[in-house]
């Protein structure tokens, strides 16, 4: 039976929800984040606030929450010319993918996470990848994650399990999952502390959280929240 997990934790809505999901299920949960020169690197500060708030406000989770790891992957930003790593207008490319797609990002993240997990005897990786949002990122697809799981297990000669609890959920369902996991207190934590905006804006507060309100990430979060509230009422 698997009792220890490592959560890929960026500080955004999805990874924060995944962290709570893991803390509800596993006896020991550690977190890992990546500094890859992201345009919205404010999320690196937000993730620390979230971890502290969880320790302060959710005692049952706090006793399961272990060490946090942050890896420097700025090389990824150096080799990626995308709207996530440069001051570029967000738009769709000729191949149909938004230019926020960072090629190889999740593949690298999972490889490095698996390396940390191997050394620390953590057999589960938990990530917030999903196929249901607008992006269509190929490294968020279920088939990609399954193939990566097989490759990592073979390459390390040890079982690596990748859990993606949000894979088939839309944003409204993700908000609802957060409420089911930690009640309105946890929903409030996500609103106040998590960061999703691609532009890194936290000057403007909305009902669903902080952000510019117009980038694709903000629009997705806003629409999901409005649907969640409508369905709840």
What does the pLDDT average to over 215-225?
Answer: 92
Residue 202 has pLDDT above 80, yes or no: yes
* DSSP bridge pairs for 30: 6
What is the predicted pLDDT for the residue at 86?
58
How buried is 145 (Cβ within 10 angstroms: 0-12 exposed, 13-18 middle, 19+ buried)?
Answer: buried
What are the percentages of helix, strand and coil residues in the chain, rounded to 5? 50, 15, 40
Distance separating the N- and C-terminal Cα atoms of the chain: 39
Q: Which domains does the chain have, with CATH numbers?
A: 4-170 (3.40.50.620)
Count each helix (H run) and each strand (E run) in the chain, helices first.
8, 7
Torsion of CA 216, 218, 220, 222, to 10 degrees: -150
What is the predicted pLDDT for the residue at 73?
81
pLDDT tens across 9-55, in order? 999 999 999 999 999 999 999 999 999 877 667 889 999 999 999 99
What is the predicted pLDDT for the residue at 87?
63
What is the predicted pLDDT for the residue at 198?
86
- Degrees, nearest 5: CA angle 86-90-95: 105
The arrangement of strands across the sheet holding 28-35 comes to 65-72, 28-35, 4-8, 124-126, 161-163
Residue 123 has pLDDT above 70, yes or no: yes
Confidence of residue 229 (pLDDT cuts 50, 70, 90): very high
Of 41-45, 72-76, 137-141, 175-179, where does the model show the most confidence? 175-179
Confidence of residue 137 (pLDDT cuts 50, 70, 90): confident
Looking at every residue in the chain, the average pLDDT score rounds to: 90
Tokens linked to 120: 């620390």
Helix (H) or strand (E) holding 80: none
Query: According to DSSP H, which parts of the chain are helical?
Result: 13-25, 42-57, 59-62, 74-78, 105-119, 142-156, 171-193, 216-232
């Amino acid at each position: 039976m698997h009792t220890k997990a490592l959560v890929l934790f960026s500080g955004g809505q999805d990874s924060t929800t995944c962290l709570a999901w893991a803390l509800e299920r596993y006896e020991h949960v550690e977190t890992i984040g990546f500094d890859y020169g992201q345009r919205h690197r404010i999320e690196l500060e937000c993730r620390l606030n979230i971890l502290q708030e969880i320790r302060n406000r959710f005692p049952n989770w706090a006793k399961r929450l272990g060490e946090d790891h942050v890896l420097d992957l700025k090389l990824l930003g150096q080799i990626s010319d995308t709207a996530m790593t440069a001051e570029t207008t967000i738009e769709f490319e000729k191949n149909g993918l938004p230019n926020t797609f960072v090629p190889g990002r999740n593949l690298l993240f999972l490889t490095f996470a698996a390396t940390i997990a191997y050394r620390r005897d953590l057999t589960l990786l938990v990530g917030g990848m999903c196929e249901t949002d607008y992006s269509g990122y190929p490294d968020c697809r279920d088939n990609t994650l399954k193939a990566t799981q097989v490759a990592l297990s073979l390459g390390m000669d040890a079982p690596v399990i990748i859990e993606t609890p949000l894979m088939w959920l839309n944003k409204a369902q993700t908000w609802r999952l957060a409420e089911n996991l930690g009640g309105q207190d946890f929903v409030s934590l996500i609103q106040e502390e998590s960061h999703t905006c691609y532009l890194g804006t936290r000057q403007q507060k909305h009902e669903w959280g902080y952000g510019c309100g117009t980038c694709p990430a903000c629009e997705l979060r806003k629409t999901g929240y409005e649907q969640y509230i409508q369905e709840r009422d």
